[in-house]
Structure 1
Amino acid sequence: MIEQLIDPGDGSGTFQPIISDRTFEFLSNGTVKLNGNMCFIGNTVNPESFGTYEFIDDPRADVQFEGTIYPDDCEFSEATISFNLTLDGRLVIWYFCIEGCAEKYEKIN
């Protein structure tokens, strides 16, 4: 994770640089792994969380996100996380919250 956005509720929030070892790993079998709690925005790297992901591939869909992550281990079963891939190859994870809550990741090899 390289940046984090937590909006105060008025739309004025911007992504801010952050130093973190938090990483998402998307596997070809449709599973995703995070070395932190996938249920909430944060900077912690323990414990590991797992889930599944899917891309939104319906060209008729009027959506602002490219895909959805479904965490396996959240206390609330309806928890979902949306994501986008930016033009510069970064991953933006959007958590459900009243204010804007997001994390930005860069690809590592």
Structure 2
Amino acid sequence: MKKLSFILICILLVCCNSDDSNSDDAELIGDWRLIELLSDPGNGSGSFNSVESDFIITFLSDGTFTANGDFCNMLDETNSPSTGIYSEIEFTITPDNCENSIPNWNYAFVINGDKLIVNFPCIEPCKVKYQKQ
């Protein structure tokens, strides 16, 4: 009986201490600055390259986002503000009015520590990386 009690206590401790989320990941809500771009020329040799940019995307608690540039392309230009919605359940960002790309595209994202990586709809891998501000 003591062994069974001990095993049950161990199981409870493990279950209570396990957490499916990574506590080292930053919260999505807030400001994120564009820091790197990745575009692969087609041979798997693509890598993230640093950029100096003022491009900021801000995630709001109501499920919407604003950006001080055109989120629909991978450029770091801040001349055309954009808006849209996001889902932390589906890990997607859906910008409004993407004129030069696929309309209503859901851009997949991941958070890795204080970095947000967004995947763009390209034949070859193309991604952008933001850092939490």
TM range (shorter): 0.7 to 0.9
**Pair 1:16-2:40 in alignment:** no
Q: CA deviation at 1:56?
A: 2.8
Gaps of 5+ in 2: 1-33
Q: What letter corresponds to residue 94 of structure 2 in structure 1?
A: Y
Q: Map 1:41-60 to 2 at 5 A.
A: 41-56=74-89
Q: How many residues align?
A: 98
**Pair 1:85-2:111 in alignment:** yes
Gaps of 5+ in 1: 58-66
Q: CA deviation at 1:78?
A: 3.4
Larger radius of gyration: 2
> Greater share of helix residues, 1 or 2?
2
**Pair 1:69-2:102 in alignment:** no
Whole-angstrom CA distance in 2 between matches of 1:78 and 1:51: 10
TM-score, normalization by structure 1: 0.83
Does the aligned pair in 1 maintain the 2:36–2:130 contact within 8 Å?
Answer: yes
Whole-angstrom CA distance in 2 between matches of 1:78 and 1:99: 20
User: Helix, strand or coil: the match of 2:78?
Assistant: coil
> Where do 4+ consecutive residues of structure 1 move more than 3 Å?
none
User: Helix, strand or coil: the match of 1:5?
Assistant: strand
Give the root-mean-square deviation of aligned CA atoms.
1.3
User: Helix, strand or coil: the match of 2:109?
Assistant: strand
